Amino acid sequence: MIIHKTNFLMRALYPDFLWRIPTKEKEIYLTFDDGPIPEITEFVLEELAKFNAKATFFCIGDNIAKHQNVFQQVVNQGHTIGNHTFNHLKGWNTENGEYLKNFDLCQVEIDKNEIQNRRLFRPPYGRIKRNQAKEILKTHEIVMWDVLTADYDQNITQEQVLKKTLQHTEQGSIVLFHDSIKASRNMKYVLPRVLEHFSERDFVFKKL
């Protein structure tokens, strides 16, 4: 079973991570992991632009290096960039030194193009050891999520992904999408509908 809504226990275990944004405004924070990927990330950018939406992209360093042009488009359109390691490492299975080196390598790729004041990191798979996080928190905020769209899951229908996402997203939610090949079938269906649904209800989409 996929847990679409991050539960209280998870948040209580890691209170120093960012799970949602406390706000009195009708705001939603869309995030896109694992890009930049040609065509797919570009699709996301076009959809966001239609709704005047800003978002946050947690990029894989290796993809930035391979797809500079796509990365530059994300930067030029004023979205926020976050670090997602260079090779999408799973913290639980990776020795600390290697993990932190890979995190640094991604940051080098980001900083070549764009120095951002706010430094954000999202651990791939949401899995990170406490002592890895402790090091990263010295320089970066660690951003998790409130709503998991599960767009990458091939076993659920586009309609189910959409329904769950609409059901769980609320004021201040951080919503996790993927601009990856694997997620693209579901994401391309769900994202335009989420943007439309909440825009019609006077929400704005903001970057972190």
**Which residues would be at the binding site for Zn ion (CB under 5 A)?**
33-34, 124
Neighbours of 47 (CB within 10 A): 18
Identify the active-site residue in 33, 146, 151, 179. 33
Query: 42 or 179: whose CB is closer to Zn ion?
Result: 179
* Shortest spacing between CB 83 and Zn ion, in angstroms: 11
Name which of 171, 118, 158, 109 is nearest 142 in CA terms. 118
Query: 82 or 124: whose CB is closer to Zn ion?
Result: 124
Written as one string, the DSSP assignment of 81-129 is EEE--SS---GGGS-HHHHHHHHHHHHHHHHHH---SS-EE--GGG---
Identify the active-site residue in 67, 140, 178, 179. 178
Query: 177 or 203: whose CB is closer to Zn ion?
Result: 177
Where do we find the tokens 């579901």?
186
* Shortest spacing between CB 112 and Zn ion, in angstroms: 21
How far is Cα 136 from Cα 111, in angstroms, rounded to an integer? 16
Which residues, in sequence order, are CB contacts of 45 under 8 Å at separation 6+? 73, 74, 77, 79
For the question of residue 67 being annotated catalytic, the response is no
Where do we find the tokens 């797809």?
67
* Shortest spacing between CB 186 and Zn ion, in angstroms: 15
Nearest residue to Zn ion, scored by beta-carbon proximity: 33
* Shortest spacing between CB 122 and Zn ion, in angstroms: 7
Are 181 and 60 in contact by the 8 Å Cβ rule? The answer is no
For the question of residue 202 being annotated catalytic, the response is no
Query: 91 or 124: whose CB is closer to Zn ion?
Result: 124
Please identify every residue annotated as catalytic: 33, 178
